[in-house]
Structure 1
């Protein structure tokens, strides 16, 4: 849902106790919050908890929401704080794994064969090449579709900074894609030669 006016109306109605408006508000914003916290935290395993924490805080704070910014921008600002709080908490008390082979355990619980899964993995790998500020600006504007001014509000930076970070993120992503394409070409040529030799 990209209709910020409708989302803001639902948030304003929800703060007055309209349960249907709460439902519509959450349904309309949930995908954006999920994408944002996943890319911002860099921890797909924590996504559900981060989304839940975001809505718990947002619904508690809803009576104070006055509609001066769009509700989506307000909600993503809360999501940003939730991720920052989690990162700080993990830095203070790192989690201990019950297994020595934690990486294999994490890989076993990843979904496979879901439409778009491979593209999602590729996008996550590409975005990991960006610095945190550039990644956040890119996700907010290019994946979530926030206007630059709204993204600046979420990030607490000037609009020009957001524009600059997005431009630099695009340059980095294009360079990585070109590099991956160049690396793929010799491998494809080698496979073709091997097949031709095998057929001969």
Structure 2
């Protein structure tokens, strides 16, 4: 049985192949229709303050790789795997920056405001704070499967790890989130 998501993935994959052959309109539609997923994914992994830049970098890399897209997975899954590598590279670059009193120099200079200001929804803010406390691999797995709605198989492809690893990361992330919520409730 083909689901709506399967049909959408097939449509996006067809658009990606058409874009790779030089169809500018297909490329524009493909970017427009995948951009929200890429932004949400990068925002959940690295924060909304850098999600725009990471999304842009994802598409910059995807454009140069689009001609090599072979369709072994859906175009969306392929694109999110690129986004994942962009986020990893972002964290590697941040780790290499000089530190000023526990902050990287850029943050210290800009006096960056809190990541989730202006959200306006207590539950969204609370979820973001709880997710921020998770191990990055667990946060990535639970974001893909529980927030963005990808199957465990798709998440395993995006994360480039075995299916069992994704299942384990999601289970542990759930345990961590419940423990953090219980701890917050006990002190609050």
Q: TM-score, normalised by structure 1?
A: 0.79
Give the distance between the partners of 2:87 and 2:173, measured in 1 at CA: 21
Matching of residue 65 in structure 1 with residue 74 in structure 2: no
Distance 1:132 1:99, change over 3 A: closer
Deviation at 1:55, TM superposition (A): 0.5
Query: Unpaired runs of 5+ in structure 1?
Result: 185-200
Aligned mates of 2:115, 2:45 — CA distance in 1? 21
Spell out, residue by residue over 1:31-74, the C-alpha distance to the aligned partner (whole angstroms, 9 max, x if none).
11112112222x43211110000001101111111211111110
Structure having the higher Rg: 1
How many residues align structurally? Answer: 178
* Distance verdict in 2 for CA 1:134–1:69, change over 3 Å: same
2:15 aligned with 1:10, yes or no?
yes
Q: 1:131 to 1:111 in 2, by over 3 A?
A: closer
Per-residue CA deviation, residues 145-197 of structure 1 (Å, 9 max, x unaligned), is: 1111111111121101101111111122122223333444xxxxxxxxxxxxx
Change (3 A) 1:177 1:90: closer
Relative to structure 1, the CA distance from residue 92 to residue 28 in structure 2 (aligned partners, 3 Å threshold; closer, same or farther) is same
Equivalent residue, structure 1, for 2:132 = 128
SS of residue in 2 equivalent to 1:107: coil
Give secondary structure in 1 for the equivalent of 2:12.
helix
Give the TM-score, by structure 2 length. Answer: 0.83
The alignment yields a C-alpha RMSD, in angstroms, of 2.3
Structure 2: tracts of 5 or more residues without a match: 99-103
